[in-house]
Amino acid sequence: MTGQRQDPIQSAVENWRIAGWGDAASGMALVTSIMRAQQLLSAEVEGRLRPHGLSFARFELLRLLAFSKKGMLPMGVVGRRLQVHPASVTSAVVRLERDGHVSRRRSTTDGRMVLVAIEDSGRTVVDAATNDLNEVFRSIPLMPAEIESVYDALRSFRATAGDFDLEDPDGST
Amino acid sequence: MTGQRQDPIQSAVENWRIAGWGDAASGMALVTSIMRAQQLLSAEVEGRLRPHGLSFARFELLRLLAFSKKGMLPMGVVGRRLQVHPASVTSAVVRLERDGHVSRRRSTTDGRMVLVAIEDSGRTVVDAATNDLNEVFRSIPLMPAEIESVYDALRSFRATAGDFDLEDPDGST
């Protein structure tokens, strides 16, 4: 992707104002910026994961299992924690199982519940991949205060979208 | 997607710190937040565009052409302004042409240059789609100051990634 003098999103903001949509311009700029930042970050993250044979979705799944106490979780819990559809969890698990990084088993206490467990090979690959991704995470070209203000605003946005319950600031409920 | 008590990204931050990766935790939280915000926004935007038979990529292409002075631009300029690969431009144009919203023609001054032009049906559909998207853009559940600080930080990030040249603050170059 070649650089260019003008910021295309800033140009869009000016076009929006000229068209008489000034009251929607900052929201348009925000949405478009987030989509563009996601593209740039996703390309970098997926590039770092490719040598490990992982996508970001499969990395997140292995990382979650590696952090879990018993190294295994019910499929439904994985979907809720990663905020992805059950079909996406299944598709990631099938691929990770094929690569020998996880295995599926029935719960011994509830035969209807399917558990996914991380294998030694999964732990090895996810630790190596985490080292590489942490290099990306440490070198975000923004000041700590900028990172914090973006994170805080997006956290409030995610809460409003229903991703989780914000704690009551009074602690009264 | 069902809500849940705990913020999964905040849980990941805690896991990152416990694992000894505290110096990478805020970057991980930022990247993961941007990816999640993009998913939520993309679902909303694509949902609003679907009744118009448009994806966000095709909407952006029609919007760019509608804003252009002559209602037509060279394919290469479209790719640079939308920051997408030439193959993605072609694929969007082929679909829009099939729907009667754009047409391709050779430049009369440079026979090697292919121009894409918006048709009346393209102008009608993109204006209706813009009205619907502007409702989304006006109702982002964040304070104006939050929107501005996220936009400013992501603008700096996009500039560092090479999307455009930041103006020299001294105006000396």
**In this predicted complex, what is the ipTM?**
0.92
From B49's Cα to the closest Cα of chain A, the distance in A is 14
Q: How far is B126 from chain A (nearest CA, A)?
A: 13
Distance from C-alpha of B154 to C-alpha of A68, rounded to nearest angstrom:
33
> Are B26 and A81 inside 8 Å of each other by CB?
no
**Would you call A83 and B10 a contact, using CB atoms and an 8 Å cutoff?**
no
Across the interface, whether the CB atoms of A153 and B147 are under 8 A apart is answered yes
Q: Which of A11, A139, A142 to mutate to test the interface with B (most CBs of B within 10 A)?
A: A142
> Which three-class secondary structure state does DSSP give residue B86?
helix
CATH number of B53-138: 1.10.10.10
Q: Which of B4, B11, B34 is the best substitution to test chain A (most A C-beta atoms within 10 A)?
A: B34
pLDDT score at A129: 98
Please tell me which residue, A124 or A167, carries the higher pLDDT value: A124
Interatomic CA distance for residues B124 and B113, integer angstroms = 27
Task: Report yes or no: B113 and B74 within 8 Å, Cβ to Cβ.
Answer: yes
B105: three-class secondary structure by DSSP: strand
d(CA B30, CA A140): 9
Residue A23 tokens read as: 């009251």
pTM score: 0.92
Q: Min CA distance, A108 vs chain B (Å)?
A: 26
Measured between CA atoms, the residue of chain B closest to residue A12 is B64
Q: Which of A51-55, A134-138, B109-113, B125-129 has the lowest mean pLDDT?
A: B109-113
Task: Output the CATH code of domain A53-141.
Answer: 1.10.10.10
Q: Which residues contact A137 (CB under 8 A, 6 or more apart)?
A: B24, B25, B26, B27, B28, B30, B31
Model confidence pLDDT, tens digit, residues A73-113: 999 999 999 999 999 999 999 999 999 999 999 988 988 89
* pLDDT value of residue B36: 97
> Residue A93 burial by CB count (10 A; 0-12/13-18/19+): exposed, middle or buried?
buried
